[in-house]
Amino acid sequence: MTHRPPLHIGARTIGAVRVGVAVTVVLVLVYAYALRIGAGDSNPFDFFGYFTNQTSLLAAIVLGTVGGRLVAGRPVPSWLTTARAVVTAYLIVVAVVYNVVVPGTGSAPPWVSFLLHGVFPVVVLLDWILIGDRSRLPWRVLWTLLPYPAVWLAVVLIRGVTDGWVPYGFLLPGRGLPSLTAHIVGLIAAIVASGAVVWALSRTKPRVVLAHPRRSR
């Protein structure tokens, strides 16, 4: 069996593509929010209360920051690589839950949902698998997956009890404590499992090696 040599692509080229993807996602989120304003629902806490919208924005910021550093010829710190792994795990959960568990829900235009729940998660995952600017992530930092969804769940549950708004029906307090507990445990388990996959993928051999420009002496 022959092994294909890795592709060598300029770091600035990869960086520019990442920035482009990040800007596109931010513009799509702004467009979707503008549609909600046009429909008379301008509450940003409702729009950005959705896990999809929050994690898509967060992933775009992380991806754009990593890309911007590559374009500028600056090194990417290890904490930013970990952040990229974390948002990749979140987007995997977003894609699986939306396309498998609750397909076709939401009020956004179909193309917006397709981009945020399908295209963007796949692009981010492929970027993580194929591009060789990631390091092996130590398992001891897998816990970094948990603080954000824990805070998000706490805020959602407080809102569900106080003003009755929740982003997803399975988090309605009225469904009862057993159902609520089961869904919360299932969501956390899915995030940890997704993170474990991303952490494991950091140990695989990438297909693309970044070629950094030589600095003149």
**pLDDT tens per residue, range 23-47:** 999 999 999 999 989 888 888 888 9
- Asked if the model's pLDDT at residue 92 lies above 90, the reply is yes
Is pLDDT larger for residue 105 or for residue 62?
Answer: 62
Q: For residues 123 and 177, give the distance between their C-alpha atoms in angstroms, rounded to a whole number.
A: 37
Is pLDDT larger for residue 8 or for residue 77?
Answer: 77
Smallest CA-to-CA distance from 33 within 47, 50, 22, 14 is with 47
- Asked if the model's pLDDT at residue 2 lies above 70, the reply is no
DSSP 8-state assignment for residue 144: G
Query: E-strand spans in 51-161?
Result: none
Tally: H helices and E strands in the chain: 8, 2
- Tell me how far the alpha carbon of residue 100 is from its chain's centroid: 17
Q: For residues 95 and 111, give the distance between their C-alpha atoms in angstroms, rounded to a whole number.
A: 14
- Asked if the model's pLDDT at residue 18 lies above 70, the reply is yes
CB 199 within 8 A of CB 139: yes
- Asked if the model's pLDDT at residue 103 lies above 70, the reply is no
Q: Which helix (H) or strand (E) holds 173?
A: none
Q: What is the pLDDT of residues 119-178, one digit of tens each?
A: 999 999 999 999 989 989 999 999 999 999 999 999 999 998 888 888 888 888 888 889
Q: Which helix (H) or strand (E) holds 10?
A: strand 7-10
Q: Is the dihedral of CA 59, 65, 67, 70 positive or negative?
A: negative
Q: Which helix (H) or strand (E) holds 182?
A: helix 177-201
The answer to pTM > 0.85 is yes
- Which two tokens mark 63? 């991806």
Provide the pLDDT confidence category of residue 217 given band limits of 50, 70 and 90.
very low
